[in-house]
Structures are given as C-alpha cells and as structure tokens.
A and B are shown apart, each in its own frame.
Chain A
C-alpha cells in the first residue's frame, strides 16, 4: 500500500524558511517522480514543484522559482521541499504526491499524502 506522510509544517514569519519532508513507502521510491501541490485556505489546488525519478531533474512553478528547492533522498525514501523567503501568499496546505507516467507518456498524480499546513504570518 502506497503511503505518503508529510511533516515539517507550522507557523513561520514572512521572510523565514521551512523544510517540508514526505516519507514514502509501499513503492520503489527512486523509480518514480514526485511532486508538491499546495492549497491555500478555501482555494483550489496549485502545482508547486516536481522531481523526476532516477536523474532527479527538478521543475518549479513560477510563483516559487528561486525561493523553493525540491530534493529527494533515495536512501531514506523521503522527498523534501526547502522553502525560503516565505510570503503570506505561501500559506497553504502542502501535499506530497507521487506521479506516474501513463501509457500515453503523460504524468498524473496517483497518490497523495494527507497534507501539512504552512502558515506564514507575523
């Protein structure tokens, strides 16, 4: 059974930093791409960042480029999101998601963690 468990959220002041972790189990972690998706309170879903399996190529939404860094530790089956220069608009529940390549060579998010709340406020 695939399980994704986020941790590391909390309250941080504007301009501060936070590192989220996502512990994965139930699948061969280094064979799959992983992603972070966030949801501001009462709002819709927003893709944040992704990292490919194997080579570990990284991708970012424009809204976080240059401030957030995605990484993974295959020895620990863990995904990370280092968030720097945080802003009030980064306040959201952050979901870790596994994503899988379909038969048409396109990706979709097939499993999601329960989410972790990050609040940026003074």
Chain B
C-alpha cells in the first residue's frame, strides 16, 4: 500500500491545464525529501519528468512543471496534448520505512 496518494484519474481537453496532486506525510514529503514525477506511456517503462520537486531533465517538455508545499506536491501540465495521455507517478523517500516510495498513480486522459 503506497504512502503517497494521488487521484486515480484526471482529464482535460487539448490545450487545457491539468494538475495532479501527490499527498504524503511528515515522514516523506513533509520531512523535506524531494519529489520526482515519472510518466509511463501504455506498455512502456517509466520516464523521468520532474526531479528535485521542480526541475526538468533535458528533453522534458516545458509544459510540465512541479511544485511542493508542506506534505504535498503537484504536477501541472499546461497546454495538454494528445501525447500526454499516460499514467503519472510521484516518488519520494520515506524515513519511517527507510524506502523509496511511489504514489498510487494518476491516469491522464485527453478528451
């Protein structure tokens, strides 16, 4: 059972802005551990989208942005595109579990 909670699904029309929340606790996000976001297209391996809460790796589109506040983090997709339809996972570290932890995952659907 994941310690990071995400909404099961979000949807939006092309061009719209959508956000995905990632809610943790005082032993992970709230303890100051960074949050990463990964995109998993259907049938493929996860791909790093955001690291260190708000940094984009080389090649990640700038329509993706991340933020963190307190015990939660968010991923925003501005200008939603059809190719953004995928599963998105947040990830952090949990000091109580001494383990890297992933969110429950959010399916983004482009209407």
Give the B-binding residues of A (Cβ under 8 A): 35, 37, 44-47, 50, 59, 61-62, 95, 102-104, 106-115
- Contact in complex: A112, B46 (CB < 8 Å): yes
User: With A and B bound together, what is the CA distance between A45 and B55 in angstroms?
Assistant: 21
The digit string for B42-68, where 1 denotes a CB below 8 A from any CB of A, is 001111100110010100000000000
Count A/B pairs, Cβ under 8 Å: 63
Contacts beyond the supplied A47-B102, A95-B46: 15 A-B pairs with Cβ under 8 Å: A37-B102, A44-B104, A45-B46, A59-B98, A61-B99, A62-B97, A102-B34, A103-B52, A106-B33, A106-B52, A107-B100, A108-B36, A109-B48, A109-B91, A113-B45
A106 and B34: CB pair below 8 A?
A: yes
CA distance A106 to B45 in the complex (A): 22
Nearest CB on A from B69, distance (A): 16
Say whether B110 faces chain A, with CB atoms less than 8 Å apart: no
Contact of A114 among B33, B36, B45 (CB under 8 A): B45
Q: Looking across the interface, which residue of chain A has its beta carbon closest to that of B45?
A: A112
The interface of chain B, by Cβ under 8 A from chain A, is 2, 33-34, 36, 38, 44-48, 51-52, 55, 57, 89, 91, 93, 97-105
User: CB-nearest residue of chain B relative to A47?
Assistant: B100
Can you name 13 A-B pairs with beta carbons within 8 Å?
A: A44-B105, A45-B38, A45-B89, A102-B34, A102-B51, A106-B33, A106-B34, A108-B34, A108-B48, A109-B91, A110-B51, A111-B48, A115-B45
Smallest CB gap from B2: residue in A: A44
CA–CA, A115 and B40, complex, Å: 12
Q: Report B-chain residues with C-beta under 8 Å of the C-beta of A59.
A: 98
Minimum CB distance partner of A6 in chain B: B45
Nearest CB on B from A26, distance (A): 14
Are A112 and B47 in contact, CB atoms less than 8 angstroms apart?
Answer: yes
Report the 8 A-B pairs with minimum CB-CB distance, sorted nearest first.
A47-B100, A45-B102, A112-B45, A108-B51, A106-B34, A108-B36, A44-B105, A102-B52
Q: List, in ascending order, chain A residues with CB within 8 A of B38's CB.
A: 45, 109
- Taken together as a complex, chains A and B put the C-alpha atoms of A107 and B93 apart, in Å, by 9
